[in-house]
Chains A and B, each alone.
Chain A
Amino acid sequence: MGRPIAGSLGPVQGLSLAPARPLSPVRRRAPGASVNVVDVGRRFEGATGPVDAIAHVHLSVAPGEFCVIVGPSGCGKTTLLRIVAGLEAATSGRVDVSGDAGRPRNAMVFQGRSVFPWLTVRQNVGYGLKLRGVPRRERERRADALLATVGLARFARSYPHQLSEGMRQRVAIARALAVDPDLLLMDEPFGALDEQTRLLLQEELLRIWENTGTTVLFVTHSIDEAMVLADRIVVMGAQPGTVKAVLPVPFSRPRALTDVRSDAAFAPLFAQIWGMLREEVLASRADIRQVRA
């Protein structure tokens, strides 16, 4: 499983929320959380009447699974992720996240700008731990270990504006991992990156995830990215957002990006997913034409 990771840490003292639990930067003993989304809907009151961003969404994610939601823009995949994160409330249905020792903890990696410009890289990574009352020295030890795993050890004292976009997203990932989440939520984390940086970060994410065993719920509009990363792909349709299909991904683990792309199953799976998404994208285009006419 992956490369061995340097800088493994012993138990954390004074972490009041999880006193008995060891916090290693990457290797965990606890399995990830399981997620159960039951008949969830989210309705907004629009100017022309109520609009359902998502409706009747059912989804279950197994502990330790890497689940990727792929869908056209405006299908409500970000809304669904925010509901699972607890940042937004569903207007119907319910979400159960069962974690380690009944203490579900999720950490989200956001789309675009989310690394605090006013904190150093190290302070950013330690931010979640600070809110949980972890003492400074322990925070810094853990932040430094995580920065080493994402290749940013040299930049601990830098400010985000001194880094590239790809490096900032690495900081965001390290910050989410720092709280040792049972569930890692990722909202198009690589969407704003150039392709080569994106490929590198996908590889890194896979390597880190294969070592942590945390559950990942990952949102993207890229079919390719979904296939490379996922155990299962959830295809969403729009207006209102619903789950159209759930597809298992056959590629073995640990995965190398080049192996996945040269696999015989790659092209047919891509075609299958695109077939489903194409209808959705065309349908939404037709809507736009109607509105304009």
Chain B
Amino acid sequence: MTPASRRLVEIVLTIAAPLLLIASWEALSRSGTIDRRLWPPPSTLWGTTVELLRDGSLLTDVRVSLGRILVGFVLGAVPAIMFGLAMGLFWPVRAFLMPIATVIYAIPKIAIAPLVLIVFGTGETSKYVVVGLSIFFLVLLNTMAGVLAIDRSYRDVARNFGAGPLDLFLSVALPGALPSIFTGLRLGLGFALVVIVGTEFIDADQGIGRFIYQSYSILAINKMFVGLLVTGLMGWLLNAAIGVLERLVIPWKVAG
């Protein structure tokens, strides 16, 4: 098989899977093989989507949730990178912070959400804090691991040219750990979406999580499906955005 024809088959297969899924769902639902009330035909979801887009409430919910994720992301990631670099470079810092970091890292962050809501109230601050927390430890530990994996010879080169601690920080540890930092950021964004939807279930008057939960409480199955689809698209969008950022920040990364 030539590369070109292989590519063509690849594209056809990629498109075939979702089409097949939607078509069989549609057929099974219309024929009554599966319960129409629980599995409405996908064709009817289109109408619901258009309706929701027209009155603007869905887009507002998406914007609110994305805003919470982005603010929380920056709040969590920036200090995580700084502390992670310090933990990677200096063993006393590592010894001091490691036990706390590993234990809190292991707690599912959605389980911390109720506590955060009590401490920070029901406003936006608590949403930022929950997202920030869910990202912080992931990025922290990935950054540290990234620094530790940097070949020792690079530090020797820097020291041989007279690098001080700050030079080591900025010219060796940070760039050397960047690929690993981005692994943390990418995973962190995924968790952030999970956590913000969960938190909005518990308490929010806006956001995609609230949208899905409200649809559930009034048994608006169509709206729920639209909410799920939109959440999936948001995850895809965030992942694509971090990919673009990564290529900008790490132009030297070997592709693949």
Asked if A43 CB lies within 8 Å of chain B CBs, one says no
Given A118-B178, A131-B167, A179-B161: A161 and B254 interface contact (C-beta under 8 Å): yes
Asked if B153 CB lies within 8 Å of chain A CBs, one says yes
Q: Supply 18 A–B pairs (Cβ within 8 Å), ascending by A.
A: A85-B160, A87-B160, A108-B160, A110-B157, A114-B154, A114-B157, A116-B171, A116-B172, A118-B176, A118-B178, A118-B250, A118-B252, A128-B162, A131-B161, A159-B251, A159-B252, A161-B252, A161-B254
Asked if B190 CB lies within 8 Å of chain A CBs, one says no
Which residues of B (174-193) have their CB < 8 Å from a CB of A?
175-176, 178
CA distance A116 to B153 in the complex (A): 10
> Nearest residue in A to B154 (C-beta to C-beta)?
A116
Which residues of A (105-148) have their CB < 8 Å from a CB of B?
106-108, 110-114, 116-120, 127-128, 131-132
Residue in B162, B175, B176 whose beta carbon sits within 8 Å of that of A131 in the complex? B162
Asked if B35 CB lies within 8 Å of chain A CBs, one says no
- Label chain B's interface by main secondary structure: helix
Which residues of B (32-58) have their CB < 8 Å from a CB of A?
none
Given A117-B252, A118-B252: A110 and B156 interface contact (C-beta under 8 Å): yes
Interface size on B, residues (CB 8 A): 21
Q: Which of A108, A111, A120 has the most chain B CB atoms inside 10 A of its CB?
A: A108
Which residues of B approach A to under 8 Å, CB–CB?
151, 153-154, 156-163, 167, 171-172, 175-176, 178, 250-252, 254
A108 — which chain B residues lie within 8 A by C-beta?
156-157, 160
Which residues of A approach B to under 8 Å, CB–CB?
85-87, 106-108, 110-114, 116-120, 127-128, 131-132, 159-161, 179
B158 — which chain A residues lie within 8 A by C-beta?
127, 131
> Nearest residue in A to B176 (C-beta to C-beta)?
A118
Given A128-B161, A161-B254: A87 and B167 interface contact (C-beta under 8 Å): no
A159 — which chain B residues lie within 8 A by C-beta?
251-252
Q: Which of A110, A132, A160 has the most chain B CB atoms inside 10 A of its CB?
A: A110
> Nearest residue in A to B156 (C-beta to C-beta)?
A87
Q: Which of B159, B167, B171, B175 has the most chain A CB atoms inside 10 A of its CB?
A: B171
Chain A's nearest CB lies how many Å from the CB of B187? Answer: 22
**Lowest 6 CB-CB distances: which A-B pairs, in order?**
A118-B175, A128-B161, A159-B252, A108-B160, A114-B153, A131-B161
> Nearest residue in B to A116 (C-beta to C-beta)?
B154
